[in-house]
Chain A
Amino acid sequence: MKVGLFIPCYVNAIYPQVGVATYKILKSLDLDVDYPLNQTCCGQPMANGGFEEKALPLAIQFDNLFEKYDYIVAPSASCVSFVKDNYPPIMESNNHMSQSSKKIYEICEFLHDIIKVDHLTGRFPHKVSVHNSCHGLRELKLSAASELNIPYYSKIKKLLSLVEGVEIFEPQKVDECCGFGGMYSIEEQAVSVCMGQDKVKNHIATGAEYITGADSSCLLHMQGVIQRDKLPIKIIHVVEILSAGL
Chain B
Amino acid sequence: MSTKHSKAGEVFLEDRDHASWHNESLWFVREKRDKVSKEIPEWEDLRELSSKIKMHTVSHLDQYLEQFTKNAEANGVIIHWAIDAKEHNEIVYDILQKNKVKKLVKSKSMLTEECHLNPYLLDHGIEVIESDLGERILQLMDLAPSHIVLPAIHIKRQQVGELFEEKLGTEKGNSDPTYLTRAARKHLRSEFLTADAGMTGCNFAIAETGDIVVCTNEGNADMGTSLPKLHIVSMGLEKVIPDLKSLSVFTRLLARSATGQPVTTYTSHFRKPRQGGEIHVVIVDNGRSNVIGNKDHVKTLNCIRCGACMNTCPVYRRTGGYSYTYFIPGPIGINLGMLKSPTEYFDNVSACSLCFSCNNVCPSKIDLGQQIYKWRQDLDSLHLANPTKKFISLGLKFLFTKPALFNTSLKLAPIVNVMPRFVLYNGLNDWGKGRELPVFAKESFTDLWKKGKVK
Residues of A within 8 A of B (CB): 7, 9-17, 19-20, 23-24, 27, 35, 37-41, 43, 45-52, 54-55, 57-58, 61, 134-135, 138-139, 145-150, 173, 175-177, 179-198, 220-221, 223-225, 227-228
Could you tell me if A191 and B9 are in contact, using CB atoms closer than 8 angstroms? yes
**19 A-B pairs, CB-CB below 8 angstroms?**
A9-B406, A12-B410, A13-B413, A14-B441, A19-B448, A35-B449, A46-B396, A51-B377, A54-B393, A134-B355, A145-B360, A176-B357, A188-B353, A190-B13, A191-B6, A193-B433, A196-B435, A221-B435, A224-B431
Could you tell me if A148 and B356 are in contact, using CB atoms closer than 8 angstroms? no
Could you tell me if A195 and B441 are in contact, using CB atoms closer than 8 angstroms? no
Q: Which 9 A-B pairs have the closest CB atoms?
A: A224-B435, A181-B353, A193-B434, A50-B376, A147-B360, A38-B403, A177-B355, A190-B10, A227-B436
Least Cβ–Cβ distance between A5 and chain B, in angstroms: 9
Per the 8 Å Cβ criterion, residues 330-372 of B in contact with A are 349-357, 359-361
Could you tell me if A16 and B1 are in contact, using CB atoms closer than 8 angstroms? no
Could you tell me if A224 and B438 are in contact, using CB atoms closer than 8 angstroms? yes
Q: Known: A16-B445, A35-B454, A195-B314. Is A134-B433 also a contact (CB below 8 A)? A: no
How many angstroms between the C-alpha atoms of A162 and B433 in the bound complex? 40
Which of A12, A35, A148, A173 lies in contact with B360, CB distance below 8 A?
A148
Could you tell me if A15 and B3 are in contact, using CB atoms closer than 8 angstroms? no
| Nearest opposing residue in chain B for A189, CB measure | B430
Which B residues touch A17, using CB under 8 A? 441
Could you tell me if B376 and A12 are in contact, using CB atoms closer than 8 angstroms? no
How many angstroms between the C-alpha atoms of A39 and B10 in the bound complex? 38
How many angstroms between the C-alpha atoms of A182 and B351 in the bound complex? 13
What is the predominant secondary structure among interface residues of chain B facing chain A? helix
Which A residues touch B435, using CB under 8 A? 193, 196, 221, 224-225, 227-228
Could you tell me if A192 and B353 are in contact, using CB atoms closer than 8 angstroms? yes
How many angstroms between the C-alpha atoms of A27 and B455 in the bound complex? 8
Which B residues touch A51, using CB under 8 A? 377, 380, 385, 389-390, 393-394, 397
Least Cβ–Cβ distance between A187 and chain B, in angstroms: 5
Least Cβ–Cβ distance between A141 and chain B, in angstroms: 11
How many angstroms between the C-alpha atoms of A147 and B350 in the bound complex? 23
How many angstroms between the C-alpha atoms of A11 and B446 in the bound complex? 10
Could you tell me if A48 and B376 are in contact, using CB atoms closer than 8 angstroms? yes
Q: Known: A13-B410, A184-B350. Is A190-B6 also a contact (CB below 8 A)? A: yes
Could you tell me if B434 and A190 are in contact, using CB atoms closer than 8 angstroms? yes
Could you tell me if A134 and B454 are in contact, using CB atoms closer than 8 angstroms? no
What is the predominant secondary structure among interface residues of chain A facing chain B? helix
Could you tell me if B355 and A187 are in contact, using CB atoms closer than 8 angstroms? no
| Nearest opposing residue in chain B for A181, CB measure | B353
Could you tell me if B444 and A187 are in contact, using CB atoms closer than 8 angstroms? no
Which of A50, A139, A220, A221 lies in contact with B377, CB distance below 8 A?
A50
How many angstroms between the C-alpha atoms of A198 and B314 in the bound complex? 10
Which of A16, A39, A47 lies in contact with B403, CB distance below 8 A?
A39
Least Cβ–Cβ distance between A128 and chain B, in angstroms: 21
Could you tell me if B355 and A20 are in contact, using CB atoms closer than 8 angstroms? no
Q: Known: A19-B454, A51-B393, A221-B435. Is A149-B6 also a contact (CB below 8 A)? A: no
How many angstroms between the C-alpha atoms of A29 and B450 in the bound complex? 22
| Nearest opposing residue in chain B for A221, CB measure | B435
Could you tell me if A224 and B437 are in contact, using CB atoms closer than 8 angstroms? yes
Least Cβ–Cβ distance between B24 and chain A, in angstroms: 10
Could you tell me if B13 and A41 are in contact, using CB atoms closer than 8 angstroms? no
Select the residue from B41, B360, B378, B404 with max chain A CB neighbours within 10 A: B360
Which B residues touch A193, using CB under 8 A? 433-435
Which B residues touch A9, using CB under 8 A? 400, 406
How many angstroms between the C-alpha atoms of A181 and B315 in the bound complex? 11
Q: Is B443 an interface residue, CB under 8 A from the partner? A: yes
Which of B10, B377, B443 lies in contact with A191, CB distance below 8 A?
B10
Which A residues touch B6, using CB under 8 A? 187-191
Least Cβ–Cβ distance between B408 and chain A, in angstroms: 12
Q: Known: A20-B445, A134-B353, A177-B314. Is A14-B439 also a contact (CB below 8 A)? A: yes
Least Cβ–Cβ distance between A186 and chain B, in angstroms: 4
| Nearest opposing residue in chain B for A145, CB measure | B360
Could you tell me if A184 and B430 are in contact, using CB atoms closer than 8 angstroms? no
| Nearest opposing residue in chain B for A197, CB measure | B434
| Nearest opposing residue in chain B for A216, CB measure | B438
| Nearest opposing residue in chain A for B23, CB measure | A198
| Nearest opposing residue in chain B for A65, CB measure | B403
Which of A61, A184, A197, A220 lies in contact with B438, CB distance below 8 A?
A220
Which A residues touch B413, using CB under 8 A? 13
How many angstroms between the C-alpha atoms of A43 and B356 in the bound complex? 19
Q: Is B426 an interface residue, CB under 8 A from the partner? A: no
Select the residue from B37, B376, B450 with max chain A CB neighbours within 10 A: B376
